Amino acid sequence: MRIDELKRIAEENGYEFHDEHGLITISRISLDYENIVKISKGRLNCLWIHNTRCDDKDLNVIKAAIDFAETPPEDREEQKKFYLRHRRICSKGFYLYLQKLSDVADMMSVRVFDFSGNDDIKFSEKEIEEIKKKFDTDLKDFELVEVEE
């Protein structure tokens, strides 16, 4: 499990998420109870759970925390995303666009300041390798441009 998935699950279940000093702390605290999960970022299978009550939301977070703790530390970080800019026509702003629902690859002219809301033109390294296989291409006409969020 990646750290962004753990954070999403924690927040969906009413937990606060803190990532500092090599430790992830997920907590839900009120006057009636105190539920805290701490997970080592650098060590496999290392977590601490303090739970004074448990409902479905708490169980969801505990399961996610265990899954995260069992994930090797090198596989926990968010994946970098890239734009695939066409090398020869990049002056016109052409980037690879993949309609993810229909698996149709197409070129699309997009201005740089329009990128933020369009996930169909952002790809992880794994997704880029899948595109190469699926469309039987080496993408040599495209250069990787790292997405800066």
Q: Give yes or no for residue 115 having a pLDDT over 90.
A: no
CA 109-143-131 angle, to 5 degrees, is: 80
In this predicted structure, what is the pLDDT of residue 120?
63
> Which among 64, 26, 22 is positioned nearest to 41, based on CA atoms?
22
From the centroid of its chain, how far is CA 121? Answer: 15
Residue 100's pLDDT band, with cuts at 50, 70 and 90, is: low
In this predicted structure, what is the pLDDT of residue 95?
64
Residue-wise pLDDT for 56-84, tens only, equals 999 999 999 999 999 999 888 877 888 87
Give this prediction's pTM.
Answer: 0.59
Report which DSSP code applies to 13: T
Report which DSSP code applies to 91: G
In this predicted structure, what is the pLDDT of residue 99?
55
Q: Where in the chain is the domain with CATH 3.30.310?
A: 3-75
In this predicted structure, what is the pLDDT of residue 102?
52
Thinking of the domain 3-75, which architecture would CATH place it in?
2-Layer Sandwich (3.30)
Residue 117's pLDDT band, with cuts at 50, 70 and 90, is: low
Residue bearing the bigger pLDDT, 105 or 15: 15
Q: How does the average pLDDT of the chain come out, rounded?
A: 82
